[in-house]
């Protein structure tokens, strides 16, 4: 089984969809674009996120959106929650000497704040946050830490995560707890597909 697990953050270990939607709508409102509801957002949002913003706010430089996004995210009435089995998963990896890494597009400041709040920061051997295109990072990550491809899997909730695993030549674990619905994830051919982290935990055990 796997000796190394790369984890995505949003939708994989935490549920940040409500504050992300709130912050996205704040950014859209600033540019006079109507709000999206949860369904529309899930249908349209994709990674790498600059593609999404180019579609919804064409021509607007992405760095000009970041301050509004971050402050609205912090002010959101609904906050980030840790997903079921996430702590148990990371704890199990630590006990069984499975090396764990974070590979995520999440803003580094928001990640540190959330990971510390949920008490999971120390579980990661190294953190790769604010990665815009994960496909460009997975090769260097594997090489830097001498991770064998056949012993490694990337766990995520979006098509881009599965594409990243394929690109890096490692297995992929798709979870239905996040942004992309299971039917969409199924189409991109992940190695494993589970409703939530419990499925992965049972597989590993
Ligand atoms: Mg995610």
- Percentage of residues of the chain with pLDDT beyond 70: 100
Q: Are 161 and 170 in contact (CB under 8 A)?
A: no
pLDDT digits (tens, 9 = 90+) for 131-146: 999 999 999 999 999 9
Using pLDDT thresholds of 50, 70 and 90, give the confidence band for residue 150: very high
Task: Using the mean position of ligand 1's atoms as its centre, give its distance from the Cα of residue 143 in Å.
Answer: 23
Spatial distance between the Cα atoms of 57 and 28, rounded to a whole number of angstroms: 8
Q: Does the structure show a pLDDT above 90 at 157? A: yes
Spatial distance between the Cα atoms of 154 and 144, rounded to a whole number of angstroms: 16
Task: Using the mean position of ligand 1's atoms as its centre, give its distance from the Cα of residue 126 in Å.
Answer: 18
Task: Using the mean position of ligand 1's atoms as its centre, give its distance from the Cα of residue 17 in Å.
Answer: 9
Using pLDDT thresholds of 50, 70 and 90, give the confidence band for residue 184: very high
Task: Using the mean position of ligand 1's atoms as its centre, give its distance from the Cα of residue 180 in Å.
Answer: 8
Judged by phi (left if over 0) then psi (alpha if -120 to 50, else beta), residue 72 lies in alpha
pLDDT digits (tens, 9 = 90+) for 86-126: 999 999 999 999 999 999 999 999 999 999 999 999 999 99
Angle at 95 between CA 92 and CA 99, to 5 degrees: 80
Task: Using the mean position of ligand 1's atoms as its centre, give its distance from the Cα of residue 179 in Å.
Answer: 7
Task: Using the mean position of ligand 1's atoms as its centre, give its distance from the Cα of residue 136 in Å.
Answer: 16
Question: Under DSSP, is residue 100 helix (H, G, I), strand (E, B) or coil?
Answer: strand
pTM recorded for the entire structure: 0.95
Q: Does the structure show a pLDDT above 90 at 7? A: yes
């Amino acid at each position: 089984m796997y000796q190394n697990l790369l984890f995505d953050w949003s939708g994989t270990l935490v549920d940040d969809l409500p504050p992300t939607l709130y912050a996205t709508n704040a950014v859209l409102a600033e540019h006079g674009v109507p709000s999206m509801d949860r369904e529309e957002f899930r249908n349209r949002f994709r990674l790498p996120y600059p593609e999404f913003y180019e579609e919804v706010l064409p021509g607007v430089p992405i760095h000009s959106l970041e301050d509004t996004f971050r402050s609205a995210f912090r002010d959101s009435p609904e906050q980030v929650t840790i997903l079921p089995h996430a702590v148990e998963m990371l704890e199990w990896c630590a006990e069984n000497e499975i090396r764990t890494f974070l590979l995520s597009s999440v803003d580094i400041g928001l990640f540190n704040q959330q990971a510390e709040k949920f008490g999971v920061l120390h579980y990661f051997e190294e953190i790769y946050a604010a990665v815009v295109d994960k496909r460009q990072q997975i090769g260097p990550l594997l090489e830097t830490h001498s991770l064998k491809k056949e012993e490694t899997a990337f766990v995520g909730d979006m098509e881009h995560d599965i594409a990243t695993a394929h690109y890096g030549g490692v297995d992929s674990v798709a979870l239905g707890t996040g942004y992309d619905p299971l039917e969409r994830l199924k189409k991109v051919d992940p190695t494993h597909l589970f409703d939530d982290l419990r499925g992965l935990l049972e597989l590993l055990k």
